[in-house]
Amino acid sequence: MKKKKIKSLLIGLCRHCNKQLMNTDSFVSFADKKSAHFNCYKKDTEQQQEKYYANGRKEEVSLF
Ligand SMILES: [Zn+2]
């Protein structure tokens, strides 16, 4: 029986929550060599989309 050892390496700090990001976490890397937890990235993207839609609604309302 072979034991699989996963070495956890510190990737850096998450650009969203500023907590330590390990290679054992699911994470995303960006073009500027920064990384983030996948969950943080997902949350942030969803929030940005909500903002976008909110702004769209505001603009729509001001038009009428
Ligand atoms: Zn994070």
Ligand 1 centroid to residue 62 C-alpha, Å: 36
Mean pLDDT for the stretch of residues 38-42: 95
Ligand 1 centroid to residue 58 C-alpha, Å: 30
Distance (Å, whole) CA 14 – CA 25: 11
Mean pLDDT for the stretch of residues 24-33: 92
Instruction: Give me the amino acid identity at 19.
Output: K
- Is 2 in contact with 15 (CB distance < 8 Å)? no
Ligand 1 centroid to residue 45 C-alpha, Å: 13
Instruction: Give me the amino acid identity at 50.
Output: E
The answer on pLDDT for 64 being more than 60 is no
- Is 30 in contact with 36 (CB distance < 8 Å)? yes
Rounded to the nearest angstrom, the gap between the alpha carbon of residue 55 and the centroid of all alpha carbons in its chain is 22
Distance (Å, whole) CA 16 – CA 44: 8
The answer on pLDDT for 52 being more than 80 is no
Mean pLDDT for the stretch of residues 58-62: 59
The predicted structure's pLDDT at residue 58: 61
